[in-house]
Amino acid sequence: MADNDGKRTDGAPPTHIHIEKKKKTNWLAWLLLALGVLAALLALSRCNHRETTETRTTTTSNTVVAETPTAQKSAALAATSGLGAFLAGSQPTPQTFVFEKLNFETAKSDIRASDQADVNDVAAVLQKYPNTNIRIAGYADTRGSEAANVVLGKARADSVKAALVAKGVEGSRIETATGGDKDPVDTNGTASGRAENRRIELVVTKR
């Protein structure tokens, strides 16, 4: 027996009653975890979408370079023979051609005398296929500011367009653009690599 204080009056040890409290579920923590997982999945989905986009555009003031997928670029391909073969075939556009030799001196946009023959050959091919429209994109290495390289790339593209027009190609068929110092084809850590990046790309946009 026990008195009112829970003490036993018969001399036996007092009885202790253990009450186990139920653990409360922390719903707020689980909710925050679920929201974090959802946000991560959404970000991953957007990232994958950007990586699978077939064309990428770089906007610079009034100039836009629309870059074709790497698989469609004819790297280190002579623009004369490669361009002529493409225009004679039935492959889809756009198709990008990288001039084999047409590069520029540092901070300059004028065509070197040694490269003029290549430009003349391209003009001859374009005259043979009068329905062809092209985009000329000029690029720079990473020396100089990004803004200056954007302007320099455009000046190089305009220089090639002027040379083609001088050889009889209609200016309305030629669009010019700049890639600035983006999308390098070689390292900017060496002189030879920088020279490769000071280049012109020719994109056939319409047959």
Report pLDDT digits (tens) over 128-166: 999 999 999 999 999 999 999 999 999 999 999 999 999
Overall pTM surpassing 0.75 (yes/no): no
Q: What residue ranges do the domains of the chain occupy? A: 25-54, 56-206
CATH code 3.30.1330.60 for 56-206: yes
Edge-to-edge strand ranges of the sheet holding 133-139: 73-74, 95-103, 199-206, 133-139, 174-180
Crossing angle between the packed helical segments 146-166 and 116-128, to the nearest 10 degrees: 60
**∠ at Cα 150 (147, 153), nearest 5°?**
150
Half-sphere exposure of 21 (CA within 13 A, CB side): 3
CA–CA gap between residue 29 and residue 114 (Å, rounded):
70
pLDDT tens column, 25-36: 566 767 777 777
Average pLDDT over residues 116-122: 92
Q: At residue 107, does pLDDT exceed 80?
A: yes
φ, ψ of residue 73 in degrees (nearest 5): -85, 135
CB-CB neighbours of 165 under 10 Å: 15
φ, ψ of residue 193 in degrees (nearest 5): -65, -45
